[in-house]
Amino acid sequence: MAQDDLPRLGQISAVVCNYNGMAYLERCVSALVAEGDRLAEIVVVDNLSTDGSREFLAQRFPSVRVIAMPDNGGPARARNQGLREAKSRWVLTLDNDAIVTPGMLERLVEAARDVRRPAVLQPRSVFASEPSRVHYDGGFLHYAGLIALRNFYAPVAEAVGHAIESVDVAIAVCLLLDKTRIMALGGYDERYFILFEDLDLSMKLRRTGQAILSVEDAIVLHEEGTAGISFREGPSYPKRRVFFHSRNRWLYLMRCHRARTLLVSAPGLALYEAFWLAFAIKQGAFGAWLSGKWAFLRLWGESLAQRRRLGAKATVSDRHLLRGGPLTVTPAVARSGWMRYVVRLLDGGLQAWWALARHVPW
């Protein structure tokens, strides 16, 4: 990478994705404003919020550029629009519930000079309500169409790894992106709306030989997420999340995994799908699960076309990238003793199949 292609303080755009996030915007944008001339600009892409977000920004942060989207096309579309309109090649993208901490940006810029020439750098995301606990440290590509998350919910003091780690998946809460390389791959796939869009982008980057780094001494605080979709606690799993998981996991598999990979993975894929169906039924969300599958089937042809396009660009095989585990789930899902047992059994079955499948020539 030429020296001119590296990020520099003062030449980085910040892009915040917002939908009805006025409760978060004060803390999120104030932290960015505090970066001063370390940022070239601050842009908020608003997905037709109805909570007064745009009016609040105009009054409280008049120097912030607001891009008003004509509808709520989801964070994937908003991030793409922000990347297209950003002045700088390197862009710090954030969800509205992410709060940068002092020194985070400098640490990401320093790590971008790593010899691995990263296209994406992820800071360590910790819970804003419990900064001593990791939320996201990136992860790896699970063959079942999932992310094997690193240090998920682990106490920071017990988190494993070095200051800078190569990962295969970056979580879109907060990322420093080389927009030239991201947009060369089409950016985020807007069909996902939300969930799996960052997994899809990560797989495209890794299959084309590009690096993703997790920078664990760069810290971003993560608040509560989007109502009706995000889940951390509570007895009820959101039905919209069931729908998007049911649809988007298979969109990702069909778009990003080769046909031979899907064939070899089939028993593990079926095992996980049976678990997910049973979970959806238990949550009273069978209709959402079924709607997700129907929505996926309607995009079948388009998914095959995208797989062919990615295959033409790919330089790294699925076999080299994919892992058998571990399966990571939000602790609240497996809080009861019997559910913990089911998750352990599922994880063991998935890992056992992959251990066998790795010995099959494909």
Task: For the beta carbon of residue 295, count every other beta carbon within 10 angstroms.
Answer: 17
Q: For residues 177 and 5, what is the distance between their CA atoms, to the nearest angstrom?
A: 12
The whole-number pLDDT of residue 361 equals 77
Residue 117's Cβ-count burial label (10 Å; 0-12, 13-18, 19+) is: middle
Phi, psi of 64, rounded to the nearest 5 degrees: -80, 130
Q: Are 227 and 284 in contact (CB under 8 A)?
A: no
**Which residues make Cβ contacts (< 8 Å) with residue 26, sequence separation at least 6?**
60
DSSP E strands, the chain: 12-18, 41-46, 65-68, 90-95, 98-100, 118-127, 130-136, 139-142, 146-149, 164-167, 174-178, 211-222
The whole-number pLDDT of residue 50 equals 96
Domain borders along the chain are: 3-222, 239-357
The whole-number pLDDT of residue 179 equals 97
Residue 240's Cβ-count burial label (10 Å; 0-12, 13-18, 19+) is: middle
Q: Any idea which residue has 């400098």 for tokens?
A: 106
Phi, psi of 137, rounded to the nearest 5 degrees: -125, 25
Q: Are 28 and 94 in contact (CB under 8 A)?
A: yes
The whole-number pLDDT of residue 86 equals 98
Q: Which residues of 279-289 are buried (b: 16+ CB within 10 A; e: fewer)?
A: bbeebebeebb
Q: For residues 105 and 52, what is the distance between their CA atoms, to the nearest angstrom?
A: 29
In one-letter notation, the amino acid at residue 31 is A
DSSP secondary structure code for residue 147 in this structure: E
The whole-number pLDDT of residue 111 equals 97
Task: For the beta carbon of residue 270, count every other beta carbon within 10 angstroms.
Answer: 12
End-to-end CA separation in angstroms for the chain: 34
Give the residue from 108, 131, 105 showing the smallest Cα distance to 119.
Answer: 108
Q: Which residues of 1-29 are buried (b: 16+ CB within 10 A; e: fewer)?
A: eeeeeebeeeebbbbbbbbbbbebbeebb
From first to last of its 362 residues, the chain has per-residue pLDDT tens of 666 689 999 999 999 999 999 999 999 999 999 999 999 999 999 999 999 999 999 999 999 999 999 999 999 999 999 999 999 999 999 999 999 999 999 999 999 999 999 999 999 999 999 999 999 999 999 999 999 999 999 999 999 998 999 999 999 999 999 999 999 999 999 999 999 999 999 999 999 999 999 999 999 999 987 766 776 666 678 899 999 999 999 999 999 999 999 999 999 999 999 999 999 999 999 999 999 999 999 999 999 999 999 999 999 999 999 999 999 998 888 777 788 999 999 999 999 999 999 887 77
Just give the CATH number of 3-222. Answer: 3.90.550.60
Query: Six-digit token pair at 232?
Result: 């951390």
Q: Are 136 and 181 in contact (CB under 8 A)?
A: no
Q: For residues 362 and 360, what is the distance between their CA atoms, to the nearest angstrom?
A: 6
Query: Six-digit token pair at 12?
Result: 């980085």
Q: For residues 356 and 207, what is the distance between their CA atoms, to the nearest angstrom?
A: 23
**Which residues make Cβ contacts (< 8 Å) with residue 325, sequence separation at least 6?**
142, 148, 347, 350, 351, 354
**Which residues make Cβ contacts (< 8 Å) with residue 266, sequence separation at least 6?**
none
Q: For residues 334 and 328, what is the distance between their CA atoms, to the nearest angstrom?
A: 10
